[in-house]
Chain A
Amino acid sequence: MTGRFAGSAAVAALAALVLAGCASAGAGGTTPSAVPTEADTEPTTLTVFAAASLTEAFDEVAEQFEAEHPSVEVTLSYGGSAALAQQVVEGAPVDVFASAAEPPMQTVVDAGLASDPGVFATNTLELVVPAGNPAGVTGLDDLADAGLRIALCDASVPCGAASVKLLEQEGLVAAPDTLESDVKAVLTKVSLGEVDAALVYRTDVIAAGDEVEGIEVPGAASVVNRYPIAALTEAGDPDAAAEFVAFVTGDAGRAVLAEAGFGKP
Chain B
Amino acid sequence: MAAPVSDRPGIGRGPRRARGAQRGSSVAGRLAWPVAVVAGIALAVLVLPLAALVVRAPWGDLTELLARESVLQALVLSFTTATVATACCLVLGVPLAALLARAADWPTLPRRALRAAVTVPLVLPPVVGGIALLMLLGRRGPIGQLLEESFGVTVPFTTGAVVIAQVFVSLPFLTFAVEGALRSADRRTELAAATLGASRWQVFRHVTLPLVAPGVAAGAVLCFTRALGEFGATITFAGSLPGVTRTLPIASYLAMQSDPDEAIALALLLLAVSVIVLLGLRDRWLPEVRA
Contacts and interface: CB of A to CB of B under 8 A. Distances in A.
Task: Decide if A and B are genuine partners.
Answer: yes
Interface of A: 4-5, 8-9, 11-12, 15, 19, 80, 82-83, 85-86, 149, 151, 154, 156-157, 176-181, 189, 192-195
A178 B256 contact: no
B35 A8 contact: yes
Contact of B37 (A12, A86, A156, A189): A12
A156 B246 CA distance: 14
A12 B245 CA distance: 46
Q: Interface residues of A: mostly helix, strand, loop or mixed?
A: mixed
Contact of B258 (A4, A15, A156, A189): A156
Contacts of B37: 12
Given A8-B34, A194-B139, A180 B239 contact: yes
A194 B240 contact: no
Contacts of A85: 257
Contacts of A80: 257
A154 B154 CA distance: 22
Contact of B241 (A4, A11, A176, A194): A176
26 contacts: A8-B32, A8-B34, A8-B35, A11-B34, A12-B38, A80-B257, A83-B256, A83-B257, A85-B257, A86-B260, A154-B240, A156-B257, A156-B258, A177-B239, A177-B244, A178-B157, A178-B238, A178-B239, A179-B240, A179-B242, A179-B246, A180-B240, A181-B253, A189-B239, A192-B138, A194-B140
B34 A12 contact: yes
Contacts of B256: 83, 86
B175 to A, nearest CB: 30
A167 to B, nearest CB: 16
B57 to A, nearest CB: 16
Contact of A82 (B134, B244, B258): B258
Given A11-B38, A82-B257, A181-B254, A193 B32 contact: no
A17 to B, nearest CB: 12
B180 interface: no
Interface string B21-37: 00000000000111101
B249 to A, nearest CB: 13
Contact of B34 (A9, A156, A177, A193): A9
B4 interface: no
B139 A193 contact: yes
B156 interface: yes
Given A11-B35, A15-B38, A176-B241, A181 B257 contact: yes
Interface residues of B, number: 28
A19 B40 CA distance: 13
Interface string B234-269: 000011111011100000011011101000000000
B41 A149 contact: no
A210 to B, nearest CB: 16
A149 B157 contact: yes
Q: Which 9 A-B pairs have the closest CB atoms?
A: A178-B239, A12-B34, A82-B257, A8-B34, A156-B258, A177-B157, A83-B257, A8-B32, A15-B38
A198 B246 CA distance: 19
Contacts of B241: 176-179
Contacts of A15: 38, 41
Given A8-B32, A176-B241, A180-B239, A149 B154 contact: yes
A156 B263 CA distance: 13
Contact of A19 (B32, B41, B154, B260): B41
B252 to A, nearest CB: 12
Contacts of A181: 240, 253-254, 257
A248 B18 CA distance: 65
Nearest to A86: B257
Nearest to B45: A19
A177 B155 CA distance: 11
Given A83-B257, A156-B257, A192 B240 contact: no
A193 B140 contact: yes
B41 A154 contact: no
A192 B134 contact: yes
Given A15-B38, A180-B239, A194-B140, 14 more contacts: A4-B32, A11-B34, A11-B35, A12-B38, A15-B41, A83-B256, A149-B157, A177-B157, A178-B239, A178-B240, A179-B239, A181-B253, A192-B138, A192-B140
